[in-house]
């Protein structure tokens, strides 16, 4: 693993966070720097980030996990996820990911759940995704996972 520092994001990190989220093409809605943890190089370069989102139905989501392409495979996402899980001990904690990432999140204790077991926010997203991506390959379909 590269030398890095994981810390709470500051307002000054927001531009880099938003840029990374757009670069990796994940959901850019609900980005609030105050909820983020960032992985920084010793030189102050953003290597990765992640946040815990609180939804209107009271559910909490591990979200916006992103790592610079050149830094992938070095344990940065694992460190960010572990940090966020420790900082948010209240359970359950949810996440949405492509089905091909199930095994990655299984390592942290997350398990895929059925639509009937989802809070309202995730049911809505799941329903819309099923309609829009019904012809997608199975590994590209959206999965909602829960950590109890």
46 and 79 share one domain: yes
74 and 95 share one domain: no
33 and 60 share one domain: yes
31 and 63 share one domain: yes
4 and 32 share one domain: yes
44 and 55 share one domain: yes
Q: Which contiguous run of DSSP H or E holds residue 102?
A: helix 102-106
Question: What range defines the domain where residue 68 resides?
Answer: 1-90
Please report the pLDDT score of residue 66 as a whole number: 97
19 and 75 share one domain: yes
7 and 44 share one domain: yes
Are 35 and 53 in contact, with CB atoms under 8 Å apart?
Answer: yes
- Coil, strand or helix at 12: helix
Please report the pLDDT score of residue 2 as a whole number: 59
59 and 114 share one domain: no
- Closest residue by Cα to residue 62 from 39, 92, 38, 34: 92
- Coil, strand or helix at 107: coil
Count of structural domains, the chain = 2
Please report the pLDDT score of residue 53 as a whole number: 96
Contacts for 24 with CB less than 8 Å, ≥ 6 apart: 66, 67, 69
Query: 92 preceded by cis ω (within 30°)?
Result: yes
61 and 101 share one domain: no
Structure tokens at 4: 């890095």
pLDDT one-digit tens code per residue, 33-59: 999 999 999 999 999 999 999 999 999
4 and 59 share one domain: yes
Please report the pLDDT score of residue 138 as a whole number: 84
Please list the ranges in the chain whose pLDDT falls under 50: none
pLDDT one-digit tens code per residue, 93-105: 999 999 999 999 9
User: Residue 17: which CATH number?
Assistant: 3.40.630.30
């Amino acid at each position: 693993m590269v030398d890095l520092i994981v810390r709470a994001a500051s307002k000054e990190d927001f531009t880099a966070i938003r840029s990374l989220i757009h670069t990796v093409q994940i959901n850019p809605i609900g980005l609030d720097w105050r909820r983020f943890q960032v992985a920084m190089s010793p030189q102050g370069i953003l290597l990765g980030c992640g946040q815990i989102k609180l939804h209107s139905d009271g559910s909490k989501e591990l979200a916006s996990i992103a790592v610079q392409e050149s830094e992938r495979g070095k344990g940065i996402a694992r460190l960010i996820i572990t940090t966020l899980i420790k900082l948010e001990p209240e359970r359950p904690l949810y996440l949405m990911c492509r089905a091909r990432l199930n095994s990655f999140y299984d390592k942290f204790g997350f398990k895929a759940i059925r639509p009937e077991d989802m809070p309202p926010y995730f049911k809505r997203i799941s329903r819309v995704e099923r309609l829009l991506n019904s012809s997608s390959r199975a590994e590209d379909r959206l999965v909602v996972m829960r950590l109890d």
